[in-house]
Chain A
Amino acid sequence: MQLIKKITATVIFLATSIVSMAQDAKPVATNADSSLDADTMLVVCIGLLAIVIISLANTLLFTMKYYKEKIRVEKEASNTGLKAVMLIALSLAGLSAMAQAPNLVSNTVVTEHASAFRMILYIIVGLEMVVIFLFTRMIKFFMKSEYPGMVKVVVKKAPIININFKKVWDKVNQFKPIEEEASVDTGHSYDGIHELNNVTPPWFKVAFLLSIAVAIGYLYRYHVAKSAPLPEEEYRIEMAEAKEQHDEFIKSQKSNVDENTVAMLDADGIAAGAALFKSNCVACHGAAGQGGVGPNLTDEFWLHNGGIKDVFKSIKYGWKEKGMQAWESTFSPVQIAQLASYIKSLKGTNPTGAKAPQGEVYNEAKDSSATSKVVMDSASTTGK
């Protein structure tokens, strides 16, 4: 009876802890920061291992009780009592550590020390494994202690739940009772290996025929009835949907920029552009825009004109033959405007190691289409 009580108690505890953990984990999973994902998984790992630890702890307590009883008969209770207390303390410590783990996640994920945090998670996983190992050893130790009957006590209780299942299982497979095996013996003996001729499980035959039907249906659907889209058609549908979504998005935007309407942004816009530049452009254009693989962006020489609209265009569509890739599928128009503004703001900064001039001098005043004097409010363009 006590065992059942304990099991229910554990189940309740586990259920609550899983629920609480799931709640804690949710914001982590939806967070866009990609590096957090590994942490989520580690936390789940920790949770799962904790479940194992709890069940082991229960088994351990159970086996210890028997052990203690046996010892009491031998009147040597004092020593093991201490051991038991220690064990309980140990498992409790494990449990409380686990309970804290989800909290840890939600607090630390925001910080930049994700790698240190992950190290801690790795260590917790490691510690949990050690605990599992120790628990199993201890259970073994207690089980072995001249109580061979004990294992059977556990086993005997189980069949109450299993009986029906076993019957169903036997029926589903059309099992012959093992005692009647001789009736299906083929009489073959290959190096002592005998072969029975049991019937193929009926579910197997049904499922096999079914899978053949599904396969024929599959081919029929795609190539005879043509009622399901083949890859190229699927692609067309997907792109049409994307276009629809995109059109709607454009409509919903109050203001949208392209190479005809773009204008220099304010300081916030330039700062946003600087951040984008740092993470995407420095490989070719240098950390300060001094150039490298790509041209110098800080002088007045431009390969494809240097107006804000020209720079916007160069970023958006790229100059493929010269190695500048098109960024329009990576950046939004606003982001491109921010980048263009940042680049324009670099003029005359004279960074060290500047690349030699390329292209022609670009004269802003002469270019009638340039409107870089107009400063747009970056807040209105970002649509926030």
Chain B
Amino acid sequence: MELQKFTYDNRMPRNFAIATVLWGAVGMLVGVLAAFQLAFPSLNFGLSFTTFGRIRPLHTNAVIFAFVGNGIFTAVYYSLPRLVKTPMWSNKLSRIHFWGWQAIIVAAAVTLLMGFTSGKEYAELEWPIDIAITLVWVVFGINMFGTILTRRERHLYVAIWFYIASWVTVAMLHIVNSFELPVSFFKSYSWYAGVQDALVQWWYGHNAVAFFLTTPYLGLMYYFLPKAAERPVYSYRLSIIHFWSLIFLYIWAGPHHLLYTALPNWAQSLGTAFSIMLLLPSWGGMINGLFTLRGAWDKVRENPVLKFFVVAVTCYGMATFEGPMLSLKNVNAISHYSDWTIAHVHVGALGWNGFLTFGMMYWLIPKLFRTKLYSIKLAATHFWIGTLGIILYAVPMYWAAFRSYFMMKAFTPSGQLQYQFIDIVQTVVPFYILRAIGGTIYLLGVFIMVYNLVKTAKQGNFLAFEDAEAPALEKKYKSPSGSFWHSVIERKPIMLLTLSLVVVAIGGMVEMVPTFLVKSNIPTIASVKPYTPLELQGRDIYIREGCYNCHSQMIRPFRYEVARYGEYSKAGEFVYDHPFQWGSKRTGPDLAREGGKYPDSWHFNHMLEPVSMSPGSIMPNYPWLYDNVLDIGSTNSKIHAMRKMGVPYPEGYESIAPSDLKAQATAIADGLKKDKIEVKSDKEIIALISYLQRLGRDIKTDTTNYSNK
């Protein structure tokens, strides 16, 4: 058979690698800032774009989509051509992909800091960027499939299965979750409302972890780990079992983020049940990774690449063990809204994604630059510093979570809550400091790596085009008798793609379709009315400032939550919430029934300087809300958009809305005047106060509890 000559283009993996390291450092730096802000609120600097509510989404988006995203592309653009023995299909598409993705990252950073956000976690980017992401993702897919279809290797290696499944699932998740109705160029409303929005969001959120942070990185592991260890992959059949079971089961687990919420119980239970089943498929990847190192453990002692891989895979095992545990109801009651979740994701993010990326870099950069790693010693230092950073990050968070849980649910013998929320906040602040130090140490390690990699690149010389040769595939293929049935799928990429899509689509459909169509899942409450125009505008300010990053709006049916926040939340209360704002973390108290708890003047003073009303608070100041004039011009289109999505504003209400808005604003400003507060009624703060005062007031509940009867 004739050998065909071709070349691998190493510029793409190099560019993606540079972007990975660069965005990684930036994203983690932002994370460190966010961590310190929680301990020292003055670090919010009193500026809108440096306030925690905007910094935190920037951090999560940067480390997930910029750092890990570019990490995925580095791995794919290096490993895929070599695994199928052909260069990437199109240089042009590769370049569009690279620059498109980087442009999206820059646009994301700018818009998030400016407060353009859809208010849905890990999917905060507004609709023009969502569309751009879709386009670039399709470009990536075409390029990937072009490469696969022109391959010179008959069967697809397990790493590629993971790449394909990740690609198609992320596409599905992104498109379904980003259904939104634009009201202006940088403002849109989620198509779904309340409970349904929550279900879709956490179906997306959970599986962004699954199919962006996990499965592509399993593909990465399956290529780079055996390469670095120079050992064969442990078990082909284990690969098959854990690949299919993992992608099938993962997609169902989303509702475990919504246990004890207003989500229908059957959906909650499905989330838990599938999370339990998810443990072993996840561990399949860990087992295959660690057992691949059998007979190479002596190398692990000396080779920093393998050290990183071992800890990464171990962290993966720990996080995927913890995950199913966290989805058990009684454990979730403790962990949900607490710092436990933060610790959990960071074991995964810092350990699994971070260390796997670092290992890959230490292996790849010397290869690309045809040299040895500049300093193995520095890499080892990085390894130890990084490990220490992870421990110092995670341990205080676990401790804080348990501590605050026991304080939250403490009652005095006479039946009163023992602690105010602020007491609990002050208890955890020292842990926030330790956590921030842990994060800083980890980041220090990254800087050491950057230095090491730059030095490595400088001492070597870059091999842009790598020559290779392989015979072309014969048109006809007859599989050897007795070959395993799965090999058929491995040589039919389109079939693999379709099967993956079918397998991942099932879970989401079973959970979402009934929640959308069966009315009894979200019993309507007649007294729940749409927001007034001013409240709607206030809600958009609430979303813009990222209040949901620290405040939940979902009271769970626990005695201590009802005593602290009021009657537990009902599904029917959220039917007009586009998007839902249940939140996932309570750094501050729940706000689901904030309305009427304090006077307007309290909110006025509190938003200006929280410590003046609540001494010891770590909430940032929001001085710009007192200068900014509310954009009343947008009211029209907002009311219109809401009606389009089924919110029952009367026909033609758009024309009345602005005057309604002004009347309500004037009433609030007049009320404040009685409390000696002079403020013009057209300021943003007025709208925000109106929204906060509306929260949770629609249902009249018997808020008196047993203690006064």
Q: Check if A219 is an interface residue, CB within 8 A of chain B.
A: yes
A238, B274: Cα distance in complex, Å: 27
Q: Check if A235 is an interface residue, CB within 8 A of chain B.
A: yes
A246 and B294 form a contact (CB under 8 A): no
A201, B676: Cα distance in complex, Å: 74
Q: 0/1 per residue, A232-248, Cβ < 8 Å to B?
A: 10110011001101100
The 10 closest A-B pairs by CB, nearest first: A323-B599, A38-B430, A235-B557, A194-B232, A215-B273, A190-B157, A208-B280, A34-B427, A191-B82, A198-B235
Task: Tell me, rounded to whole Å, the shortest Cβ–Cβ distance linking B298 to chain A.
Answer: 11
- Spot the interface stretch: A14-22, A58-66, A87-95, A173-181: A173-181
A329 and B707 form a contact (CB under 8 A): yes
- Spot the interface stretch: A99-107, A330-338, A362-370: A330-338
Q: Check if B396 is an interface residue, CB within 8 A of chain A.
A: yes
Contact of B291 among A193, A198, A207 (CB under 8 A): A198
Task: Tell me, rounded to whole Å, the shortest Cβ–Cβ distance linking B685 to chain A.
Answer: 15
Contact of B559 among A232, A238, A249, A332 (CB under 8 A): A238
Chain A residues within 8 Å of chain B by Cβ, number: 74
Interface CB pairs A-B, < 8 A, 21: A118-B430, A181-B232, A188-B155, A196-B232, A198-B237, A198-B238, A199-B237, A215-B274, A222-B265, A234-B557, A235-B558, A235-B568, A238-B559, A249-B413, A284-B598, A293-B613, A323-B601, A324-B599, A328-B416, A328-B708, A355-B676
Q: Which residues of B have CB within 8 Å of A284?
A: 598-599, 602, 613
Contact of B705 among A37, A207, A324, A329 (CB under 8 A): A329
A193 and B223 form a contact (CB under 8 A): yes
- Spot the interface stretch: A77-85, A141-149, A314-322, A342-350: A314-322
B279 and A211 form a contact (CB under 8 A): yes
Residue of A nearest to B283 (CB): A204
Q: Which residues of B have CB within 8 Å of A294?
A: 599
A222, B271: Cα distance in complex, Å: 13
Q: Check if B706 is an interface residue, CB within 8 A of chain A.
A: yes
A201, B558: Cα distance in complex, Å: 42
Interface residues of B in 516-563 (CB under 8 A from A): 556-559, 562-563
Q: Check if A9 is an interface residue, CB within 8 A of chain B.
A: no
Q: Check if A352 is an interface residue, CB within 8 A of chain B.
A: no
Q: 0/1 per residue, A110-127, Cβ < 8 Å to B?
A: 000000001000000000
B420 and A238 form a contact (CB under 8 A): no
The answer to whether residues A219 and B269 also contact, given A238-B559, A249-B414 and a CB cut-off of 8 A, is: yes
Q: Check if B184 is an interface residue, CB within 8 A of chain A.
A: no
B415 and A325 form a contact (CB under 8 A): no
Q: Which residues of A have CB within 8 Å of B272?
A: 218
A199 and B235 form a contact (CB under 8 A): yes
Q: Which residues of A have CB within 8 Å of B295?
A: 178
Q: Which residues of B have CB within 8 Å of A317?
A: 704, 708
Residue of B nearest to A325 (CB): B597
Q: Check if B179 is an interface residue, CB within 8 A of chain A.
A: no
A239 and B706 form a contact (CB under 8 A): yes
A201, B235: Cα distance in complex, Å: 10
A195 and B269 form a contact (CB under 8 A): no
Task: Tell me, rounded to whole Å, the shortest Cβ–Cβ distance linking A197 to chain B.
Answer: 5
Q: Which residues of A have CB within 8 Å of B234?
A: 196, 198
A253, B155: Cα distance in complex, Å: 79
Q: Check if B572 is an interface residue, CB within 8 A of chain A.
A: no
Q: Check if A223 is an interface residue, CB within 8 A of chain B.
A: yes
Other than A323-B596, A324-B599, give 8 A-B pairs with Cβ distance below 8 A. A37-B399, A38-B427, A188-B157, A190-B83, A198-B291, A200-B235, A204-B287, A207-B280
Q: Which residues of B have CB within 8 Å of A322?
A: 599
